[in-house]
Amino acid sequence: MSAAPGVVVVGNGMAGSRFVGELRDRDPSVPITVFGAEPQRPYNRVLLSNVLAGAADPEHIALVDAAWYAAHGVDARLGVEVTRIDRAARTVHASDGTATPYGTLVLATGSTAFVPPLPGLAEGLPRGALAFRTLDDCRRISELAATARRAVVIGGGLLGIEAARGLAGRGLDVTVLHLAGHLMERQLDPAAGRVLARTLAGLGVGSRVGVGVTGVRTSGTGGDRRVTGVELDAGGAAETIDADLVVVACGVRPETGLARAAGLAVGRGVIVDDELRSVADPSVRAIGECSEHRDEVYGLVAPAWEQAGILAGLLAGTEPGARFTGARQITRLKAAGIELASMGETHFGDEDDGVEVVRFTDVSRGTYKKAVIRDGRLIGAILLGETAAAGTLTQLYDRAAPLPAERLSLLFPGAGRDGGGARADSPLRMPDAATVCQCNGVTKRRVREAWEDGARTADDVARETRAGTGCGGCRDAVEGILGWLADQETPDRREPAAAAPR
């Protein structure tokens, strides 16, 4: 069954590009037009910090081959911004003067960086001050970093930590300024925030928490203004930190300007139902960071890609009963020298009634592990510095599965086992239905099938299944499964298949 003629997609980022690919996989003939405001082909925004650090080339984070669009009959308008939606005529008007009709319009406009209206920023960003959101931002920051000496990152959330680590990787003196009492307060508890701060310090990144930025100091006038420092309030005392590069990482806001101007229902994002339809117009759908579903706006890649797959199945008619009912948010950070996985309700402590907290801290090694349990189910977890248990905890959290009686094994897989028992998170003991790649929903069974089809490396598996193309945090697990499968082919090293639960 074919989708309605003329699917037009506004936004060619991680959500929009994934949707286009998923729809074309299911329906080879439906006309698809995709508009991307950025001139380059879509890229993995999660890996921008690696580009900023110089550890990855921009070409290495591309999501779609340049020749893919023409080969698959997709009209890609890269570098063309949609300026207006005419819902009555069912057309979108673009910056190149075109008016394109649609049968179904898919909004995947993502988010934009929030720049607080502080003195020095409210009248426009001066030279040396930049947001960190796009590949173009990354390139401009890299250019400035080549001659800068001291950088300040405003904001100690996930994006700010990624930016700071990238700049430190280029040899700059970097300080993170954060208003909350500890870093990444949305994902971490105070103890984990302190461990992260110490880890960052060892990597050349200083941090100041509980401080409010009151302005950005500049020299020059008009278009010649240049950053010279950041003014802050530290417990009632005014202070200035010298800087010739300032990165603003104060969060993002869903990009809803087009939708709002078109009269669609907008809260924080474009409000959609379980079929990802605008509640104001069923011919319009919205996915990714610009959409709001059941009062939730998802800022992570895994829910966006899940929405893309569901919507593609609905429009192509291959999965007419598919519905998006919500997603659990699991945050992964994997930058040079830092590994982090965080999920669920992480802020409970020993003093809170009705929960059980299992915790381990080794500040000197930058390790912090925590599991929060309620009614025998995992409701939250933090793994910082050593994330081998992430796969096991993700499965337990995602499925609300019963927990082992030996709680220590949650944080240290295999703990409490005698002799040569397999680790709880080893490929041997991992169920075939276990999700290996959370971003793409790839199971151990799918990795095994890719192996059986000839995939022998993690890159081979990525091409076959997309595992590892999101945050990259599952690459070690994929390589472990491949190693185990290779061992099985050697008779004297084969482990008993009966031990592997299904």
Q: Are 215 and 374 in contact (CB under 8 A)?
A: no
Q: What is the DSSP letter of 74?
A: E
Its pTM stands at 0.86
pLDDT, tens only, 286-295: 999 999 999 9
- In the chain, pLDDT over 90 holds for what percent of residues? 69
Residues 48/38, Cβ–Cβ less than 8 Å: no
> Residue 415 has what pLDDT?
56
Average pLDDT, the chain: 90
Percent of the chain with pLDDT over 70: 93
- The rounded distance, in Å, linking the Cα atoms of 481 and 459 is 13
Distance CA 90, CA 260 (A): 16
What string of H, E and C letters represents the secondary structure of 365-414? HCEEEEEEEECCEEEEEEEECCCCCHHHHHHHHHHCCCCCCCCHHHHCCC
Confidence label for 489 from pLDDT (cuts 50, 70 and 90): low
Contacts of 267 (CB under 8 A, 6+ apart): 292, 295
Q: What CA–CA distance (Å, rounded) separates 153 from 207?
A: 9
Query: What pLDDT, on a 0 to 100 scale, did the predictor assign at position 477?
Result: 79
Mean pLDDT of 364-391: 94
**Mean pLDDT of the region 209-229:** 93
Provide the token pair at 286. 């919205």
User: Is pLDDT above 70 for 28?
Assistant: yes
Task: Categorize the per-residue pLDDT at 232 as very low, low, confident or very high, splitting at 50, 70 and 90.
Answer: very high
Which pLDDT does position 250 carry in this prediction?
Answer: 95
| Count of Cβ atoms closer than 10 Å to residue 365 Cβ | 11
pLDDT band at 414 (very low <50, low <70, confident <90, very high): low
pLDDT of residue 497: 40
pLDDT at 473 over 90: no
Q: What angle separates helix 475-488 from helix 458-465, to the nearest 10 degrees? A: 110
Distance CA 247, CA 121 (A): 12
Q: pLDDT band for position 468 (50/70/90)?
A: confident
pLDDT digits (tens, 9 = 90+) for 380-407: 999 999 988 888 898 899 888 889 888 9
